[in-house]
Amino acid sequence: MTFSVLARCEHTGQFGMAIATRPIAIGAKCPFVRPHIGGLMVQANGDPRLGPLGLKLLVMGYSARKVLQELEASDGSDHIEWRQIMVIDKDGHTAARTGSQNEEWRGHIVKHNVCVAGNRLSSDRVAPAMLDGFERADGELANRLLAAIEAGRDAGGQVAGQYSAALQVHHERNYALVDLRVDEHNEPIGELRRLYGLYKPLIPYYLQRPSNPSMKRDDDWRKELGIAGGPR
């Protein structure tokens, strides 16, 4: 009961994902994305242990299709049909698998640099809407990822609704450029968009601070930029 997008930015080399679902803490369970190598999504009745294995294979230079084949073999025939997995490699090649035990509507769409997938969706319109939302959006990768899950929501989303959402973008550093989550919220995708709007102007600050720890506090940075802080 999840819908998600996994993508690479052709211009910046960034990798990222956005996801929404009903259960809590989806951002901790499904995404495995890293700079330079790509990443994967392990969702539906997923096994998070497949994520680190997939990342190791991507580091070794395996293609997205080969990584998916290895994960299928590792998981075994008794379990793989319950999974939904997407993989993107360093060159933007993608591969995906939707197991037969996933609830309808279920499916995925793969293209160069982007793939979308979902299970227990309201209809077969959701996944194409996500892809269209991603491809129509302008700007940075994070904005396009958000546009994709917004479009999925607007096309009907999940049968059971969505109460958890997450957004990640990785670039040059070994930690995420963007890593935002919303849990137990009646409109998690809208809240995720709001949080990203607050966070985006602070990205330069958080990129500079590791090498300049004497920088002014982020509260002062916010004030100079006129950005509201704290809960609503």
What pLDDT, in 10s, does the model give residues 24-81? 999 999 999 999 999 999 999 889 999 999 999 999 999 999 999 999 999 877 899 9
Instruction: Provide, for the chain, the percentages of residues in helix, strand and coil under a 3-state DSSP scheme, each rounded to the nearest 5.
Output: 35, 25, 35
Q: What is the CATH number of the domain that holds 52?
A: 3.60.20.10
- Residue 147 inside a domain? The answer is yes
The answer to whether the CB of 89 falls within 8 A of the CB of 63 is yes
For the chain, count helices (H), then strands (E): 7, 10
- Which pLDDT band holds residue 211 (cuts at 50, 70, 90)? confident
Count of C-beta atoms within a 10 Å radius of residue 28: 12
Cα separation, 33 vs 7, in Å, equals 10
Question: Is pTM beyond 0.85 here?
Answer: yes
Cα separation, 41 vs 167, in Å, equals 12
- 174 by Cβ neighbours in 10 Å (0-12 / 13-18 / 19+) ranks as exposed
The answer to whether the CB of 139 falls within 8 A of the CB of 169 is no
- Residue 37 inside a domain? The answer is yes
- Residue 153 inside a domain? The answer is yes
- Which pLDDT band holds residue 225 (cuts at 50, 70, 90)? confident
Domain range for residue 49? 2-190
List strand residue ranges (DSSP E) for 12-93, in order.
15-21, 31-34, 38-44, 83-88
* 70-98 average pLDDT score: 94
Which pLDDT does position 46 carry in this prediction?
Answer: 84
The answer to whether the CB of 142 falls within 8 A of the CB of 3 is no
- In this structure, of 2-11, 16-25, 75-84, the range with the lowest mean pLDDT score is 75-84
Cα separation, 82 vs 166, in Å, equals 22
The pair of structure tokens assigned to 164 is 């958890």
- 75 CB contacts (<8 Å, ≥6 apart)? 47, 50, 83
Q: How many structural domains are present in the chain? A: 1
- Residue 60 inside a domain? The answer is yes
- Residue 223 inside a domain? The answer is no
Q: Which of 183, 135, 136 is nearest to 20 (CA)?
A: 183
Our measurement of the distance from residue 173's CA atom to the centroid of its chain's CA atoms, rounded to an integer in Å, reads 18
Higher pLDDT, 214 or 43: 43
- Residue 144 inside a domain? The answer is yes
Q: What percent of the chain has pLDDT over 70?
A: 98
Q: Tens digits of per-residue pLDDT, 181-208?
A: 999 999 999 999 999 999 999 998 888 8
- Residue 209 inside a domain? The answer is no
- Residue 178 inside a domain? The answer is yes
